[in-house]
Structure formats: structure tokens, C-alpha cells
Chain A
Amino acid sequence: MDEGIQREALVATLAAIADRIESEKDHLTDLDSAIGDADHGANLHRGFQAALDGADPDDDPAAFVKAAGMALLSKVGGASGPLYGGSLAVASSEFEEGITTESSVAFAEAYLEKVKDRGGASVGDKTMVDALTPAVHTYKRAIEVDDLDPLAALSKAVDATERGVRFTTPIRASKGRASYLGWRSVGHPDPGATSTLYLLEEIHDVAAEYLDGEAATVVDAAAETEAEEGSGVEE
């Protein structure tokens, strides 16, 4: 992909995410009122709208992603501001040489690393880390071990993220505000894991529009045969 198309794809991705968060805002807030403080949807919506409003389509990929991260950091507040925005801003430096298959893996890993570092959560704490970890591991594995193309790898990553969200439902929270509820947090999916899935789904869908359709078909078949591998999460 040349850089012009990359910029266009990034703007489209941010717009798709902002749109999706807007339509899921009440659902996310409902999930959060079960085990948190009922503001996750409203907060992310405010942040992604600001990111979209402030987006400069002429920015190179690293600057574009960094600006989106800073907008989230300064508009979302709560733990989600530093987690979604701060991590995006830090990971954006992986795109300094442009978006390639390799840099997308590095970006995903840097993002996960910053989320874990800032939030201090690991898999099993009932947080977004439960969705993000299998997503990133699956993506990396699909590309580096299974030799899939990025779109097919993303598709597997989305499946893994979905399993990660399901994994958060029956467990007891030990990080985040839900942890104060103890056993009462059991039975509800984690709102942060859920919104992470929405982001991944939108990234996948926009990528599908921009990446080679023929390659995508081949890979979907490959993805199906290996669908159960490498989720990174014990169910």
C-alpha cells in the first residue's frame, strides 16, 4: 500500500471506530453499570468523536495515530484515557516507517505492552487485557508462524478477541472497579474487553476494504482450517 492509501485507510478506520462506539455507547454503559460505574460508553464516545474531529488526513501514519491517542488521553478521562489513548500514542512510533505487515505486529505488541504496564493487569483479571492478549498473540502467530497475510491474521485475531471477551464473563474481577464487587462481578462480560473487540472488528472490516480481496478469500479458507489454534486463552 502506498502512503496515500495508508492515510486514507487510517482516516476510514478512525471514522468506523467512532461510528461503532457511538452506536454501542448505551450497550457499553449498560455493561459498565453492571460491574463498574456506568460511564464506559459515554467516555469512549466523547474521546473518539474528539479524535475524529481533530484528525488531520495529511498526517503521516505515526503522527495520525499519535494525535488520535493524545485526543483520547485528553478527552476520555478515567482509566480508559491512559489505557486506550496513552497506549495508542506510545505504540504509534512503530508506524514511523509506515504501515507494513511487520510494523503492524510491532504496533500491536507495543500497544499491549503499554496497556499491561500502565494498568498492571494480566490475563485472568477480567479486564481488556483478557481480550487484547489473545488478539495480539494470535495476530503475531498467524503472520510469523502460519505465514498468513495481514487480513487473514486480523480475522483470526478478531475470533480470538471474541473468545477473550467470553472468557471474562464467568470470572471474578481482580483489577479495575469491578474488583470491588468480588463474586458479584461474576456473570458479566468486561466492558473494556468488549469495547476492545469492537475496535478490532472495525479495524478488520476497514482492512478488508483496502487489502487485496483475492488474497483475503484464500486466507479465509486457511483461517477456517486453523480456527481453533493459537487463541492464547484457556477456556
Chain B
Amino acid sequence: MKKLINEPEDVVDEMLEGMVAAHPEYVRRLEGTNVLVRADAPVEGMVGIVSGGGSGHEPTHAGYLGEGMLTGAAAGEVFTSPTADQLQGMIAACEGGAGVLCVVKNYEGDVMNFETAIELAELEGETDVEYVVVDDDVAVEDSLYTSGRRGVCGTILVHKIAGAAAARGDDLSEVKRLAEKVVDGVGTMGMALTSCTTPEKGEPTFDLPDDEIELGIGIHGEPGVERTDVMGADAVAEHLTERVLEDLDLAEGARVATIVNGMGATPLMELYVVNRRVQELLDERGFDVGECWVGDYMTSLDMAGCSVTVLELDEELEELLGAPADTPALTVRGD
């Protein structure tokens, strides 16, 4: 497997150096850590919005640092959550006097390390820290017998809306309420055409023959919940969208936002082809689409494939989603 890397163990460090060099006006690195924060963090009087997780999902997480989105982003090793001490350092660096909201994806490692970090932060001082756990992946069941649904691309919408609420001066409990509203109203389903290859292992995480695809993947190169024969883009779009709509159970005529997200190695051409059918379907079903995003938002290294995310909008969520954001990976001009 060919990769444009040096030593696998240096990948995260060298990626972060490159990011800071590319976007010094947006981000700076907390010395001796794998945490990037907004260049002007902490922002006085503003609730800090922090996130983090394994590397390999770029532009998630640090790509969303900046006005109207994240204040801090911690990068773990590839597909491994950041450690609790780094998360604690990030929380402290993003506390501008109004408290900090942690946006956590529902993976045990992420949840456990954030919980440990919050315990440590509370021991240290008065920092007011809350967290929300995003679990938008409709491919896996939310039951007593599994670890719950995974957090995937819908997390970006939580970053956007919580970030916009913090930017306009909402307090911590209000920012948390809005973030939880997004978590409740968002669903995602993904699929893979190929496995990804982690730098450490150097070969595909799972075997996927040329004539088969995986449905219901997460974002860590794990196989999906079901393997089927190759389908065309329309059939994939229908399968993913229908599974998400089934889960969200929206009222007729509901207004929604959508993301057709690339997993890292799928050309925009193909994502637009998928998006075409997603939008047709929503239109056929009588849904009204507000924001419609297409691109690589939350990737899985070099995996080919896509995910479809649908968020139910109401007036307050739509206003926050459309509010200005200025980050390396996402710019929203606002009205």
C-alpha cells in the first residue's frame, strides 16, 4: 500500500504541524500536545465548544476551528480517542469564563476519556463543563444490548449549531439545549466501496471484493452491518436515505438539512450524483430542504464511500445553521 507519509508514528504530529502552517490565522497548537485551538482562544465571555477524537477523519475535527464553530479540537492517534490529560488541557485552554461544552461522539473511548477529563477539570477548579454525546448512526441499534449508536457525520451539524449559539452569546445551558436538539433530530447512514488502510497496519482493515459493498459502516474502517452486491448510485442513495428517514420519522412537509458526505476517497463527481437522487427522493416525499451540503466533512482515511445525513429543522435550528462561520473547512457567509 502506497501512502504519502513518513513514519506511521509521526503522522498525527506532522499533520498538525502542516495544518498550523496552512492556517495560522485560524488555529494554534497547545505546546507539547495534539490539541489545536482557535487562534484567539479562549474567547472572553463565550461558551467554549470543544470536540475531539481519533485522527483520520479530516477535516474533522480541527478543520472546524474558528468563528461560529469549534474553540478547541483534540487529535488522538489514528482512529483512537485523545487521552484524558490532553482533553483536560484543551478544556482549560478554551474556558473564556462562560463554561465549556464538549461535543463527544458515541464511542466508548471518546466517552470514557472525556468523562475522565471532565472529572480531572472539575478537581482542578471551577470550570463549568457540560457534554453532549452524538449518536446519529441509524445503521446500528440503540438498545440495552449494544454500545448504542455511533456518532458520525451528524456531529458536524452539532458543531455548527452549538458554535453559532455560543458565538451570539448564549449561555452554557442554552448552548447545550440546542446541541441536544440537534442530536435528537439528526440521522446518518453510511456505506463503503472499499476498506480504508491505516498508516500503522499498512493494509486494508477488511477485505471487500470488487463486486461487493458494505452498508452501515462507521468511520473507523470497521466493516458495516451488512454486505451486498454492488449497486448503482441511485440505489445506494435510496437505501441510505430511506433508512435515515425511517429512523427520523418526520412529519409530512417537514423542513430538513442534508449532508452527502464523502469517506475520503470518493470524487465529488460521485457525491453529486448521489446527492441528485437524495434530493429527488426528499422532494418526492414532500420534504423541504434548507441547507444542502456535499463534500468530505467526516472521512475515514482513504475509504471510498459516502454517508447521507438528514437533520430535522425548526426555526431556531435553521437560523443557527445559516449563521456565519469562518473555519478552514467550512465557511458560511450568513445572510
Contacts and interface: CB of A to CB of B under 8 A. Distances in A.
Given A38-B221, A39-B77, A78-B80, A177 B107 contact: yes
A179 interface: yes
A73 B81 CA distance: 11
B205 A37 contact: yes
A38 B83 contact: no
Contacts of B81: 77-79, 81
Nearest to B76: A77
Interface on chain B toward A: helix, strand, loop, or mixed SS?
A: loop
Contacts of B107: 79, 177
Interface string A36-80: 111100110010000000000000000000000000011111111
B113 interface: yes
A73 B79 contact: no
A79 B77 CA distance: 12
A189 interface: no
Interface stretch (A131-139, A156-164, A180-188): A180-188
Contacts of B108: 79, 119, 175-177
B77 A174 contact: no
A3 B205 CA distance: 47
Contacts of B223: 181, 184
B159 interface: no
Measured as residues with beta carbon below 8 angstroms from the partner, the interface class of chain A is 20 to 34
A86 interface: yes
A12 interface: no
Contacts, number: 112
Contact of A180 (B9, B84, B140): B140
Contacts of B113: 77-78, 81-82
Contacts of A175: 108, 146-147
Nearest to A80: B109
Interface string B128-147: 00000000000010000111
A43 B79 CA distance: 11
A46 B82 CA distance: 13
Contact of A74 (B83, B205, B221): B83
Contact of B109 (A29, A75, A79, A180): A79
B145 A74 contact: no
A39 B200 contact: yes
Contacts of B83: 73-77, 81
A33 B206 contact: yes
B294 to A, nearest CB: 26
Given A75-B83, A180-B140, A184-B223, A38 B198 contact: yes
B186 to A, nearest CB: 18
A112 B170 CA distance: 42
A80 to B, nearest CB: 7
A77 B109 contact: yes
A99 interface: no
Nearest to B219: A37
A29 B8 CA distance: 15
A180 B147 CA distance: 8
B79 A37 contact: yes
Given A33-B201, A38-B201, A79-B109, A179 B78 contact: no
B205 A182 contact: no
A14 B106 CA distance: 32
A83 interface: yes
Contacts of A77: 54, 76-77, 80-83, 109, 113
Q: Which of A29, A37, A82, A174 has the most CB of B within 10 A?
A: A37
A176 B76 contact: no
Nearest to B147: A179
A127 B126 CA distance: 36
A79 B116 CA distance: 11
Contacts of A39: 77-80, 198, 200
A42 B202 CA distance: 13
Interface in B16-63: 54
Residue among A82, A119, A180 with most chain B CB within 10 A:
A180
B109 A33 contact: no
A73 B83 CA distance: 7
A177 B220 contact: yes
A75 B33 CA distance: 11
B222 A180 contact: yes
A42 B80 CA distance: 10
A33 B220 contact: no
Contacts of B176: none
A37 B200 contact: no
Contacts of B79: 37-39
Interface of A: 29, 33, 36-39, 42-43, 46, 73-83, 86, 118-119, 174-177, 179-182, 184
20 contacts: A33-B205, A37-B221, A39-B77, A43-B77, A73-B83, A73-B84, A73-B85, A76-B80, A77-B76, A77-B80, A77-B82, A78-B81, A79-B107, A82-B84, A82-B112, A175-B108, A177-B108, A179-B145, A179-B147, A180-B147
